[in-house]
Amino acid sequence: MDVDVLIAGAGFAGAVMAERLAEGWGLSCLVVDRRAHVGGNAYDERAASGLRVHRYGPHWFHTGSARVQGYLSRFTAWQPAAYRVMSFARGRYWPFPINLATFEQLAGRRATPGEMRDALERWRVPVARPRNSEEAVLAQVGPALFRLFYEGYTRKQWGTEARALDASVCARIPVRTDRTTAWFDEPFQALPRDGYAALFERLLRHPRIRVELKADLRAVRAAVRARHLVYTGMIDELYDFRFGRLSYRSLRFERETLAQERFQPVVQVNYPGDEPWTRIVEYKHVTGEAAGAPVTTIVREHPEAHVAGRDPYYPMPTAAARAQYARYAELAAAERDVTFVGRLATYRYFNMDQVVGQALAKADALGPRLAARAA
C-alpha cells in the first residue's frame, strides 16, 4: 500500500494535520492509533448516568487565536462554558485561582482590591527571578498561601516538590485582586456542542483520509510505503528509548455516578490536602446537559508515576528531563521525512489550542513541499 503521509496518532495534532494535508494539498493520509477510538486524550463519551464525560480528564477548550477558533468551528458548533474552579482545604471551599473573594474568606470580612494588594506586598518573598515553581509562588503570594493551595497539590500532581519544577508550572496560574472567577483569561471558552468525539469524526471524514485503530505503528510502517511520517507520540519511543525513557506523569480516573442533582458547587474542585486525588470534576456544570436531572457523574483524578504500559499525560517540567529530551530533539532535527507535532512528540506542556495552532503551522510548511515532490 502506498500513501503520501502516514500519521501516527489520531488526537488533535494528527487529526488536524491529516485534514489540512488531505483537503488543502490533496495528499493521501493514513492515520493510525493504538487506541480503539479517535480523539486522543480529548475523547469524550457517555457515562452510566447518560451524561457526557471526558474519558482522560477534563479538556477545557479556550483560545485567544482567531485562526484556531475559526478552523475548528468548521467542524463543530460550540457550547459556551464558564470554567469555574474552587479549592477544598481546611474543610471548606475556596475561590481559586486566588482572587479578592479568596482574600476576603481568609480575612473573614469584606475587603477592597487595594487592601489585597497591600497584603500581598507584605506576604511576598522578594525573588527577582524565580528559579522554580516554589519561588514563583512565594514571589506572588507568600508562604502561607503557598502551603494552603499549592504545596500539597503540586506534590501529588508531579510526584515531587514545587522547588524541583520549572517556575512556569505554577507561575501560569493567575493571581487576581478583583472578583474575576474564571480560570482562563482567553476570550473564547467553550466545549464542542456534540462532544469531542463527534468533532474528531468530522475532522477525519475525508475521502483522502483513512483511519486504522488498534494499530501498531511498527507493523504499519513495515507494510505501508509512505513518503512522509507525521509523528505525535512519545519521541523517545520512536527512537527505541536510545537515551533512556523520558519522564512523564500518568493519571488514573475514578468515575462515580450519584443519584443527586449536584455533588459540588463548580465544575472542578482541587484538593491540595491529604486526599489521594488532586481534583474532582463534575462535567454536568459545563456541558449544558440535564441541568435539573437528579443524577450526576463525578470523576476523581489520581496522578501516578508513568511506567511502560500506562498512558503518558504530562512531560515532566524539570531541568533534567529537558536535558534528556534535548538529545532526542537532535535526532528529530536531522530527520528529513518525519514531522514531530504535539505534546508528546515535542515534549512540551501544550494546551489544546496550542496543539491545533502548531499542527496548522506544520501543515502550512509541509503541505506545499510534499505536493511539489508529488508533481
Say which range, 15-24, 110-119, 165-174, has the weakest mean pLDDT.
165-174
pLDDT in tens, 1-37: 799 999 999 999 999 999 999 999 999 999 999 999 9
Q: What is the mean pLDDT of residues 320-340?
A: 97
> Percentage of the chain with pLDDT > 90?
92
Mean pLDDT, the chain, rounded, equals 95
Q: What is the pTM of this model?
A: 0.95
Residue 66 in this model has a pLDDT that exceeds 90: yes
Band (pLDDT 50/70/90 cuts) for residue 288 is confident
Residue 293 in this model has a pLDDT that exceeds 90: no
Band (pLDDT 50/70/90 cuts) for residue 291 is low
Q: What is the mean pLDDT of residues 41-46?
A: 96
Residue 90 in this model has a pLDDT that exceeds 70: yes
Residue 49 in this model has a pLDDT that exceeds 90: no
User: 257: buried, middle or exposed (CB in 10 Å: 19+, 13-18, 0-12)?
Assistant: middle
**Per-residue pLDDT at 128:** 86
**Per-residue pLDDT at 43:** 98
Q: Which of 261, 246, 343, 247 is nearest to 304 (CA)?
A: 247
**Per-residue pLDDT at 1:** 79
pLDDT in tens, 336-368: 999 999 999 999 999 999 999 999 999 999 999
**Per-residue pLDDT at 89:** 97
Residue 82 in this model has a pLDDT that exceeds 90: no
Band (pLDDT 50/70/90 cuts) for residue 223 is very high
Residue 53 in this model has a pLDDT that exceeds 70: yes
**Per-residue pLDDT at 200:** 98
pLDDT in tens, 228-278: 999 999 999 999 999 999 999 999 999 999 999 999 999 999 999 999 999
**Per-residue pLDDT at 284:** 92
Residue 374 in this model has a pLDDT that exceeds 70: no
**Per-residue pLDDT at 309:** 83
**Per-residue pLDDT at 289:** 78
